[in-house]
Structure 1
């Protein structure tokens, strides 16, 4: 960690805890590589709501996280571990975008409502991490094609503005690929509601 950053948290100890949690969840091969520490420090600062460190990393605690990086760099597993680190009031669940697209084929447009405004019988939308944005495909429901995740993200933006409910995303798409797949409007909304934390493009596949 940058020596100039002052914090009352022991980040080295937290990384050891993350490794232990990773081993518990994923097996003995799980390890946090030192080259990934800059990314992990930012995520720890964000999910522990360490305001001083977030300020120095230029992370906005009101926004969600967009964690991007090449396939196999560990985005999904680290977000799954962060669920256990974050305080109760900021808990979130991780939902693969592919699963959402399959639900859409089965249940149609109510799925967009379910993952944006909340289920019809629930009062409050939830904080969600949409995992692997870009792996789902445009799907048809009764012959109507729909870019399901684009619709959900536009609705999540409205929820973020109205209620400050956050959204997190993992993806291996670049900003320009996001724009191509989801349109300029979605990319613009994502920029407004997410902090970008990116693994280096050369990060090796850990699988």
Structure 2
């Protein structure tokens, strides 16, 4: 398993040590404030996101304590992330924060953020989604090099965009990323304004395969009013 191999070759810091955890938590808040600086805003940690932040810090550092933060949710370290919530609740910002944090700490679970519009634009130019799925363009021999990705706001752009049906492309992305996850343990995280029930309806296929694959995600709900 790729993630298991990464864990063996990369020594994660022990976030079960509360002092170490605090150092990493403070780093994420610093990064968040840097990202919000152009908007003259500061990042707020409150009851709506505090435990989610804790879960994500444990999760991305392969700390088993992640599975204990929300015991009734049965979240697992090996699963992808699916973050749901209304517009402005901070889903995309949260993934931007953790992408920068993981890059800064040289964490093998680092992922790249991708918008649906960016994905469609790439397809318009290249007529494929390879860079964001199997990444064969970077392969050596027959060894493909998929990377961890977070596709943001799926379901929002389900329309014809630049002549492309975004629902079809998103479906293609989800199917390919599931295969990448199964065989290479590279993650394809998602954010969306839709509920899980709405996602299943929006992206249901004739065989029900995609609907079933949403079971491979830790579904995290971000609640409350817009922070914008």
> TM-score, length-normalised on structure 2?
0.76
Tell me the equivalent position of 1:186: 210
Over aligned residues, Cα RMSD in angstroms?
Answer: 2.5
SS in 1 for 2:190: strand
CA shift at 1:94, angstroms?
A: 0.4
Q: C-alpha distance in 1, partners of 2:165/2:27?
A: 47
Alignment partner, residue 37 of structure 1: 50
In the alignment, structure 1 residue 59 sits paired with structure 2 residue 88: no
Tell me the residue number matched to 2:16: 7
Counterpart of 1:188 in 2: which secondary structure?
helix
2:98 is aligned with 1:82: yes
Correspondence list, 1:1-207, <5 A: 7-10=16-19, 11-27=21-37, 28-35=40-47, 36-51=49-64, 53-57=65-69, 58-86=74-102, 87-108=106-127, 110-111=128-129, 113-122=130-139, 123-139=144-160, 147-183=168-204, 184-192=208-216, 194-200=217-223, 203-207=224-228
User: How many positions carry a matched residue from both structures?
Assistant: 196
What is the CA–CA distance in structure 1 between the aligned matches of 2:108 and 2:165, rounded to whole Å? 38
Give the whole-Å Cα distance in 1 for the aligned partners of 2:165 and 2:117. 18
For the residues of structure 1 that align with 2:150 and 2:176, how far apart are their CA atoms? 15
Is residue 138–residue 148 contact of structure 1 (8 Å, CA) maintained in 2? no
Shift of 1:101: 2.0
Quick one: distance in 1 between partners of 2:24 and 2:164?
50
The CA deviation at 1:140 is 7.5
Q: Gapped runs of 5+ residues in structure 1?
A: 1-5
Query: Unaligned 5+ residue runs, structure 2?
Result: 1-14
**Partner Cα separation in structure 2 for residue 144 and residue 25 of structure 1:** 32
TM-score of the superposition, structure 1-length normalised?
Answer: 0.83
Q: Distance in 2 between matches of 1:89 and 1:19?
A: 20
SS in 2 for 1:102: helix
Comparing 19-28 with 126-135, greater Cα deviation is found at 19-28
> How far apart, CA to CA, are the structure 2 residues paired with 1:130 and 1:168?
6
Task: Determine if contact 1:139/1:147 at 8 Å carries over to the other structure.
Answer: no
CA distance in 1, matches of 2:146, 2:183: 11
